[in-house]
């Protein structure tokens, strides 16, 4: 339990600093993006969110879940951090729920443009998330977006438990309505995989802005013919 408290404290402190500072971003890639070539072996995917500037690699540290709060994908220290998953999640996005974390910034970098989904018109127009792995292209449809508490979702809703995930899906709709968030009904089966994007709520540092999406397509790709 203490680990999660420390993790959330670091997130909160980082949010405060990110709204006050605006340093220059370091280059994120080593080699061609199209070939998914990275110097840092922690990097394992690339995410692109429709209608936003989000087009970044995703990393996962093998032992320290808080590492990429303060390091970019070049492993250089920066308050921008990097987009990352915790080690509780597999790297193939085949968990029933995968959570990607990133800082919200005042210049729109990282997850700084994620809160555009708080606008109903924007939410209705922009629905797609693409995740590319070395040999796979995965597509998700966004169906929910709202500001929520800073509770650790995996622990609070027991999202590692397959029996708890359907209940969480129902909870998403209830929370969206009670918090005047945005929601669209896309249907759900127990085999569906969910993707959650989580960032600091730039308007309230004690909360998180959360976007939910459902996997709709997954195809194998030829790395030599991939088009980014």
Between 206 and 195, residue with greater pLDDT: 195
**Domains (ranges, CATH) in the chain?**
2-225 (2.40.260.10)
The catalytic position among 61, 71, 152, 200 is 200
* Tens of pLDDT, residues 110-123: 999 999 999 999 99
* Active-site annotation holds for 15: no
The catalytic position among 15, 61, 71, 103 is 103
Between 30 and 77, residue with greater pLDDT: 77
* Active-site annotation holds for 103: yes
Distance separating alpha carbons of residues 13 and 66, to the nearest angstrom: 12
* Tens of pLDDT, residues 55-93: 999 999 999 999 999 999 999 999 999 999 999 999 999
Is residue 223's pLDDT more than 70?
A: no
Q: The whole model's pTM is what?
A: 0.84
């Amino acid at each position: 339990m203490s680990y999660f408290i420390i993790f959330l404290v670091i997130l909160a402190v980082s949010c405060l600093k990110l709204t006050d500072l605006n340093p220059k971003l370091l280059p994120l890639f080593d080699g061609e993006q199209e070939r998914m070539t990275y110097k840092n072996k922690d990097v394992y995917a690339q995410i692109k969110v429709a209608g936003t500037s989000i087009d970044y690699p995703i990393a996962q540290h093998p032992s320290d879940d808080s590492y990429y709060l303060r390091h970019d994908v070049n492993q250089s220290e920066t308050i921008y951090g990097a987009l990352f998953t915790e080690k509780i999640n597999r790297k193939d996005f085949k968990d029933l729920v995968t959570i990607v974390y990133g800082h919200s910034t005042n210049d729109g970098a990282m997850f700084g443009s994620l809160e555009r989904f708080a606008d109903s018109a924007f939410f209705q127009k922009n629905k797609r998330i693409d995740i590319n792995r070395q040999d796979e292209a995965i597509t998700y449809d966004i169906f929910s977006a709202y500001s929520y508490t800073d509770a650790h979702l995996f622990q609070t809703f027991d999202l590692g438990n397959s029996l708890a995930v359907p209940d969480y899906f129902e909870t998403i709709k209830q929370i969206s309505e009670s918090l005047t968030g945005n929601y669209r009904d896309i249907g759900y089966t127990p085999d569906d995989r969910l993707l959650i994007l989580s960032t600091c709520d730039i308007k309230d540092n004690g909360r998180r802005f959360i976007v939910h999406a459902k996997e709709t397509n997954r195809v194998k790709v030829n790395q030599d013919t991939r088009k980014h």
